[in-house]
Structure 1
């Protein structure tokens, strides 16, 4: 029973996240999987390295699939995600930590840029809990 409650809680938590927070979680997940993959390669745990790289690849594919291609920047992001994905495929074939580092670098740069944009967008909005002050015209 507890597992079902926890699964429902996790599902609800993810479904109610802002798009910016969800995007940051995806980047963080990919970076975590790639860090785990590097450790697995160092430990000669090839099956674990493979599965961790594949999980990072899956996230990159999801990032590609969710782009709004009507926005001009999306074409450039798609090309970068595609490059990262191809490098991860190569890293998985060669089990090369240097290629994992390269992919991680790009993902970290993108993550940091989106985090900064989300912070700046948050500062430019009026907080939701701010109530409009009432104007007393009666004196």
Structure 2
């Protein structure tokens, strides 16, 4: 029953979130799965590593398809996301914690930048379109 309540809460949170908040949820989820993949590599839990990397890549794919490609920043982000996916695939195949760490740092920086952009938009100082 507790799991059902949690799932209902998450579904409600997603359904009522502002688009910028949804993107933030994607960043946070991706970071969570990347961290878990790194922990799984260290614990030699290869199934867990694979599942978490696949989930992180699924989120990156979602971030990629939501970009508005008429903007230069979106084109740059697309390339960055593709690079991250490539690093995660390599980490998955070769058990490279370095690539996990690299993508984690990059995704965390993107998330932090997104948080700052959301604050700017909410304060009325700027408009963000990606």
TM-score > 0.5 by shorter chain: yes
Q: Which residue of 1 aligns with 2:128?
A: none
Shift of 1:62: 0.7
Q: Using the alignment, how far apart are the partners of 1:20 and 1:77 within structure 2?
A: 16
Q: Using the alignment, how far apart are the partners of 1:14 and 1:54 within structure 2?
A: 21
Compared with structure 1, are the counterparts of its residues 5 and 102 closer, same or farther at alpha carbon in structure 2 (3 Å cutoff)?
closer
Q: CA RMSD in A?
A: 1.7
1:39-118 equivalence runs, <5 A: 39-118=39-118
Q: Point out where structure 1 has 5 or more consecutive residues left out of the alignment.
A: 126-139
Compared with structure 1, are the counterparts of its residues 99 and 2 closer, same or farther at alpha carbon in structure 2 (3 Å cutoff)?
closer
SS in 2 for 1:79: helix
Q: Using the alignment, how far apart are the partners of 1:26 and 1:15 within structure 2?
A: 14
Q: Using the alignment, how far apart are the partners of 2:5 and 2:40 within structure 1?
A: 32
The size of the alignment, in residue pairs, is: 125
Shift of 1:120: 1.1
Q: Which residue of 2 aligns with 1:14?
A: 14
TM-score (norm 2): 0.87
Between structure 1 and structure 2, the one with the greater Rg is: 1
Residues 59-89 of structure 1: CA distance to partner in whole angstroms, max 9, x if unpaired?
0111001111122211001010011111111
Q: Using the alignment, how far apart are the partners of 1:41 and 1:30 within structure 2?
A: 17
Please state if 1:27 is matched with 2:30.
Answer: no
